[in-house]
């Protein structure tokens, strides 16, 4: 990934890397997720996402990462989610 890479390009590359059909990229979206390490109060931690935003296909995730950083105690990661799951969660 480079600062010039679009979300659409990164989803396509990830699908290819994990042996899925890269032509199915339209079924998936890159999401910007903000959460807390060790969230949810579980012993041993884990990571608990609390805020999710679908990244537009033409947005540049690495540029987003440079422009906005979460507050202390929070972290961010990008996740690939099925669009149909995002639509269900929005209902």
Q: Where are the domains of the chain?
A: 7-88
Question: What is the tens place of the pLDDT at every residue in 19-29?
Answer: 999 889 899 99
Stated pTM of the model: 0.83
Question: What is the tens place of the pLDDT at every residue in 48-68?
Answer: 899 999 999 999 999 999 998
Q: Which fold has domain 7-88?
A: Ubiquitin-like (UB roll) (3.10.20)
What does the chain look like in DSSP terms, one character per residue?
Answer: --TT--HHHHHHHHHHHTTS-GGGGGGEEEEEEEEEETGGG-TT--EEEEEEEEPPTT--HHHHHHH--PPTT-EEEEEEEEHHHHHHHH-
Above 80 in pLDDT, residue 40? no
> How much is the average pLDDT of 77-84?
94
């Amino acid at each position: 990934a480079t600062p010039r890479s679009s979300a659409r390009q990164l989803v396509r590359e990830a699908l290819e890397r994990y042996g899925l059909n890269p032509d199915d990229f339209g079924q998936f979206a890159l999401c910007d997720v903000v959460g807390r390490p060790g969230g949810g109060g579980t012993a041993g931690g884990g990571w608990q996402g609390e805020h999710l935003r679908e990244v537009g296909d033409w947005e540049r995730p690495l540029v987003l990462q440079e422009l906005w950083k979460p507050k202390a105690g929070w972290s961010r990661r990008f996740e690939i989610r099925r669009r149909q799951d995002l639509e269900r969660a929005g209902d």
